[in-house]
Amino acid sequence: MATTEFTLLVAGGSFLAGLLGSLTGLGGGVIIVPLLTLLFGVDIRYAIGASLVSVIATSSGAAAAYLKEGYSNMRVGMFLEIATTIGAICGAYLATRIPTAAIAIIFGLVLLYSAWTSVAQPPELAAPDTGPFARLLRLDGHYPTPEGERAYHVTGVPAGFSLMWIAGVLSGLLGIGSGAVKVLAMDRAMRIPFKVSTTTSNFMIGVTAAASAGIYLRRGYLDPGMAMPVMLGVLAGALLGARILPGAKVRTLRIVFSIAISAVAIEMILQGVRGKI
């Protein structure tokens, strides 16, 4: 395949990945890595490196908008970034040490979990009172609603911090934002409202990806010729998805997309077991 043709196909696929990732909330990273490895035959470590660059770009743009609207909790985000950054560095280091087949199997399992969380959205649980660590760190906040500003309490900080380290490891190892695990930590463990947890998670994803991208760059797994079309395609798709989202039937889209992602996950696991990745 000629270089120009390959670049255009990668950019087109990345555009669709960014569009679908934006509409479903899973992010383009969960599609980019399988797209490059299964369809284009790219080494999974190079695919992860390109995916991390796209995650940084899309997160940076969306994070600024959410912060301006008053949804993101900066104190929670900056505190939990300590765990995710350390985890991302550990994950990126592991990615250069473990076999690519094992990475593919882990990626497939994480995809299955992400597909399930995209469809199953449990009811929001508010924290009854501020936890001792949250009180010490002043993590409580408020966010805008149609009825005005609504205050919320934060609890379960140790559990959330531990889960964030796991999210960071997965991000560095697999080249994805690990938004599903980050939202699990903030929404379920720390009882932060869903809108705040998702927007704060989006802000954190870019910082986490940047921490691990440096290791991939040092190891030579960041190919500019591949990372650039991936980044531009995902960014353009994510911006279009943000415009379409208000009028889209998101629930139906999530179900269809989750089924497709599950099929990709099974294929990744099978390829990993067979040692073909």
The full DSSP string for 38-75 is: IIS---HHHHHHHHHHHHHHHHHHHHHHHHHHT---HH
Mean pLDDT (the chain) is 81
Over the stretch 64-104, which tens digit does the pLDDT of each residue have? 666 677 778 888 888 998 999 999 889 888 888 888 888 88
Using alpha carbons, select from 92, 18, 222, 179 the residue that is nearest to residue 10: 18
Is the Cβ–Cβ distance between 88 and 212 less than 8 Å?
yes
Task: Indicate the domain borders of the chain.
Answer: 3-274
pLDDT one-digit tens code per residue, 255-268: 777 787 788 888 88
Asked whether 250 and 23 are in contact (CB, 8 A), the reply is yes
Q: Look at the alpha carbons of 242, 243, 247, 252 in this order and tell me if their dihedral is positive or negative.
A: negative
Cα–Cα nearest to 10, from 60, 23, 33: 33
Burial class (CB within 10 angstroms; exposed 0-12, middle 13-18, buried 19+) of 170? buried
Helix H or strand E encompassing 194: helix 194-218
**Three-state secondary structure call for residue 12:** helix
Q: What is the pLDDT of residue 24?
A: 64
pLDDT range class, residue 180, cuts 50, 70, 90? low
Query: What amino acid is encoded at 235 in this protein?
Result: L
Rounded mean pLDDT, 223-235: 88
Which of 152, 29, 18, 134 is CA-nearest to residue 75? 134
Q: Tell me how crowded residue 233 is: count the other CB atoms within 10 A of its CB.
A: 25
pLDDT tens digits for range 47-67: 988 988 888 877 766 666 666
Q: Is 262 exposed, middle or buried (0-12, 13-18, 19+ CB in 10 A)?
A: middle
Strand (E) or helix (H) holding 141: strand 141-145
DSSP 201-255: HHHHHHHHHHHHHHHHHHTT---HHHHHHHHHHHHHHHHHHHHHGGGS-HHHHHH
